[in-house]
Amino acid sequence: MGGASGSSYNSSIDLNRPRLLDLLERFAGRKLLVLGDMVADEYWFGHPTGRISREAPIPILRETSRETKPGGATNPGYNARTLGAEVFLAGVVGDDGSGRALCQTLGQAGIDVGGLVVDPRRPTYTKIRVVAGSTQEMPQQVARIDRFDDGELDPAVTKRVIEHACRLIPQVDALLISDYENGVISQEIVEACLPEAIARGKLTCVDSHGDLFRFRGATVATPNQPEAEATLHRTFHDQAELEAGGMELVRGMQARGVLITRGSEGMSVFEVDGTIHHLPVSNLFEVRDVTGAGDTVAATFVLALLAGANMLEAAQLGNVAAGQVVRKVGAATVTRDELARAIAAG
């Protein structure tokens, strides 16, 4: 069992289902602020005409529909909302169609977008997938076009993001910093917002593509393994190196714990007292699309901790939730009912 320094065990077999269901019940109404890089995930669907372009060896599609889905930092927010939380966002969108469509989707889901600054000088970070196929056919991505400006934010925009975040922090139970390294999570924003949340006793979680040691003092972090390795400037070749690295992150961040997600290898949770748990994936066989599964884990992990879970229970809930979203195409969400059924089913 965990407890002694560096101890570990395979914890997949001992889910306390009634306890996890009880925790899930207590997700409702938790208040979460997600601060970070907002992204519009756009899908342009076209029906294949069967013709090849005369300009290049590419298929010609006839446009059928367009859709905008929550991406980047909006995705953990969307996941938390679907799980019953009250969600607030702070960040930046552009004064463009993608930004408006994104805010409309988020608003319809009941997410508070009042903390999003509209910056007319840069486009909404948009990832456009051109998809061939219709509902009757297996859709295939043909191309991806990203529209972005990854330069530094205008100082006036940074100031307004900080104002929104600091206005919202007192109203929420937790702050999740979702850093896709698209330019919003600058040192200035981290220094203004993270200590503010910590000083007010809020639970703070960091999900960052960049250096995790910029977020010292956060309660927890949820990097994937490459992000954890990048922070430590080394690769984990085996379980011993993973365990040493995970504990080094906890100590270096002065965190209560770090959850490292490891794709098809599952996830590992490292606690400040030296306890380590390794969880194999909860769903091995019905994997269709792993995009955004890490966002689902971060959202579930934070809500579980707010509900009173310990680190292992929070990781187990995140693991079962991830097992549900990897069955779905695109960056997906899992509802509270779906998660409850998955926990009950085992």
Where on the chain is the footprint of ligand ATP (CB under 6 A)? 224, 261-264, 266-267, 281, 283, 287, 290-295, 297, 319, 322, 326
Residue 72 found at the interface with Mg ion (CB under 5 A): no
Segment contacting Mg ion by CB under 5 A, of 34-42, 79-87, 291-299, 317-325? 291-299
Which CB atom, from 98 or from 261, has the smaller least distance to ligand ATP? 261
Which one, of 59, 137, 70, 61, lies nearest residue 103 by Cα? 70
What's the token pair of residue 294?
């890490």
Residue 77 found at the interface with Mg ion (CB under 5 A): no
Residue 46, strand partner residues: 63, 132
Q: Residue 82 touches which of ligand ATP, Mg ion, none (CB < 5 to 8 A by kind)?
A: none
Taking the C-alpha atoms of residue 158 and residue 139, their distance in angstroms, rounded to an integer, is 39
- What's the number of CA atoms in the CB half-sphere (13 Å) around residue 291? 14
Q: Report in angstroms how near the CB of residue 338 gets to Mg ion at its nearest.
A: 21
Which CB atom, from 72 or from 245, has the smaller least distance to Mg ion? 72
Helix, strand, coil shares, percent, the chain, to 5: 35, 30, 35
Q: Report in angstroms how near the CB of residue 168 gets to ligand ATP at its nearest.
A: 23
What's the token pair of residue 70?
């929550």
Q: Report in angstroms how near the CB of residue 135 gets to Mg ion at its nearest.
A: 29
Which CB atom, from 119 or from 179, has the smaller least distance to ligand ATP? 179
Q: Residue 11 touches which of Mg ion, ligand ATP, none (CB < 5 to 8 A by kind)?
A: none
Read off the DSSP letter of residue 172: -
Q: Report in angstroms how near the CB of residue 294 gets to ligand ATP at its nearest.
A: 2
The question of whether 295 is a catalytic residue gets the answer yes
Which CB atom, from 119 or from 271, has the smaller least distance to ligand ATP? 271
Classified as helix, coil or strand, 144 is strand
CA separation (Å) from 104 to 109, 292, 295, 333? Answer: 9, 20, 21, 18
What's the token pair of residue 82?
């679907």
Q: Residue 267 touches which of Mg ion, ligand ATP, none (CB < 5 to 8 A by kind)?
A: ligand ATP
Q: Residue 292 touches which of ligand ATP, Mg ion, none (CB < 5 to 8 A by kind)?
A: ligand ATP
What's the token pair of residue 234?
């080394």
Q: Report in angstroms how near the CB of residue 316 gets to ligand ATP at its nearest.
A: 11
Q: Which residue is nearest to ligand ATP, using beta carbons?
A: 294
Taking the C-alpha atoms of residue 182 and residue 158, their distance in angstroms, rounded to an integer, is 13
Torsion angle in degrees (nearest 10) through CA of 104, 333, 88, 146: -60
Which CB atom, from 99 or from 294, has the smaller least distance to Mg ion? 294
Q: Residue 324 touches which of ligand ATP, Mg ion, none (CB < 5 to 8 A by kind)?
A: none
Among 46, 294, 318, 330, binds Mg ion (CB under 5 A): 294
CB contact at 8 A, 56 and 142: no
Residue 94 found at the interface with Mg ion (CB under 5 A): no
Q: Which residues contact 218 (CB under 8 A, 6 or more apart)?
A: 177, 194, 198, 204, 205, 206, 253, 255
Taking the C-alpha atoms of residue 98 and residue 42, their distance in angstroms, rounded to an integer, is 8
Which CB atom, from 131 or from 297, has the smaller least distance to ligand ATP? 297
Q: Residue 28 touches which of Mg ion, ligand ATP, none (CB < 5 to 8 A by kind)?
A: none
Residue 112, strand partner residues: 88
Active-site hit among 146, 238, 295, 337:
295
Which one, of 257, 275, 345, 314, lies nearest residue 4 by Cα? 275
Q: Report in angstroms how near the CB of residue 82 gets to Mg ion at its nearest.
A: 18
Segment contacting Mg ion by CB under 5 A, of 68-76, 147-155, 293-301, 320-328? 293-301
Q: Report in angstroms how near the CB of residue 168 gets to Mg ion at its nearest.
A: 23
CA separation (Å) from 302 to 83, 85, 311? Answer: 11, 11, 10
By annotation, the residues acting in catalysis are: 295
Query: Which residues contribute to the site for Mg ion (CB under 5 A)?
Result: 294
